[in-house]
């Protein structure tokens, strides 16, 4: 194959599968990995695709900071199923933290605990949703409110967490990358999430399949700090396998 034929083959495969793998392309086209990497770089320079770890994708791997009212329309049914599965993990836990984001907000919507539960949250929508819920006591973190997420941020919110210990932290993210870890599109919120992870005994990431192979601006944590990931069935089997090899319990719903 000449360069034009290779590029056409790659673009057709991207159109069909959404992503390509370097090792597969090497085998299918009979060229070296160096050649394929150069091809992917040229296609990315022409804004025809995005390079990702081990290949290329038609989807931008870098998460954008969208307003919350836009995010909640994306994969709404999947988010509800993820939230229902998350609630099953609470069991006898007497305290949980619910972070910011549309997927973890669905946990608040679906949460009707049979016994007393303290919910700690930086998210105003979560606090308002649960403020009059039976058996729920809300500890609302304070600080500056970030309009895009309707969540507080900053040193005051972090200082409130210094004397708190919590059973489970339900973490919403903008990106999950096997090498970069968990990330979000805002650096200040990333720092608050890091502090919440230190406070919790169990970290549960809630993310629909569109969040995989993406990176936000601010890294929250590595995979080694995550105990569970709950996602939908559209996540790839290879990704699930890789996560389980890192001792993460993956639940697909």
pLDDT, tens digit, 9 for 90 and up, residues 103-120: 999 999 999 999 999 999
What is the distance between the alpha carbons of residues 163 and 16, in angstroms, rounded to a whole number? Answer: 52
The CATH number of 3-57, from 1.10.10.10, 1.25.40.340, 3.30.1950.10, 3.50.50.60, is: 1.10.10.10
Residues 49-59: what's their mean pLDDT? 80
* pLDDT, mean over the chain: 89
Tell me: pLDDT of 195 over 70. Answer: yes
Higher-scoring residue by pLDDT: 26, 48? 26
Radius of gyration of the chain (CA): 20
Edge to edge, the sheet with strand 228-231 lists: 136-140, 117-121, 95-98, 166-172, 200-206, 228-231, 249-252
Burial 36-46 (b: 16+ CB within 10 A, else e): bbebbeebeee
* Orientation angle between helical segments 76-87 and 102-110, nearest 10 degrees: 50
**Where are the domains positioned within the chain?**
3-57, 68-252
Tell me: pLDDT of 61 over 80. Answer: no
List residues bridging with 119 in a β-sheet. Answer: 96, 138
CATH class for the region spanning 68-252: alpha beta
What does the block give as tokens for 239?
Answer: 């990704």
Tell me: pLDDT of 222 over 70. Answer: yes
Q: Which helix (H) or strand (E) holds 20?
A: strand 19-21
């Amino acid at each position: 194959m000449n360069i034009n034929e290779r590029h056409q083959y790659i673009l057709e495969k991207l159109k069909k599968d959404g992503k390509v793998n370097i090792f597969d392309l090497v085998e299918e086209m009979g060229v070296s990995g160096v050649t394929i990497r150069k091809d992917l770089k040229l296609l990315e320079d022409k804004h025809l695709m995005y390079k990702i770890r081990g290949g290329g994708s038609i989807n931008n791997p870098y998460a954008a900071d969208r307003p919350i009212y836009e995010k909640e329309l994306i994969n709404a049914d999947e988010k509800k199923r993820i939230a229902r599965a998350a609630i099953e993990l609470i069991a006898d836990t007497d305290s949980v933290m619910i972070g910011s984001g549309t997927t973890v907000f669905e946990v608040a919507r679906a949460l009707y605990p049979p016994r007393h539960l303290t919910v700690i949250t930086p998210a105003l929508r979560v606090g308002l949703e649960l403020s009059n819920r039976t058996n729920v006591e809300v500890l609302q973190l304070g600080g500056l409110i970030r309009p895009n997420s309707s969540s507080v941020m900053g040193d005051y919110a972090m200082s409130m967490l210094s004397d708190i210990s919590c059973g489970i932290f339900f973490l919403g993210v903008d990106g999950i990358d096997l090498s970069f870890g968990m990330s979000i599109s805002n650096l200040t919120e990333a720092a608050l999430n890091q502090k919440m992870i230190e406070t919790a005994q169990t970290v549960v990431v809630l993310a629909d399949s569109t969040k995989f192979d993406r990176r936000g601006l601010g890294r929250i944590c590595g995979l080694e700090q995550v105990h569970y990931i709950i996602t939908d069935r559209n996540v790839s089997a290879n990704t699930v396998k890789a996560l389980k090899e890192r001792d993460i319990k993956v639940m697909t719903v």
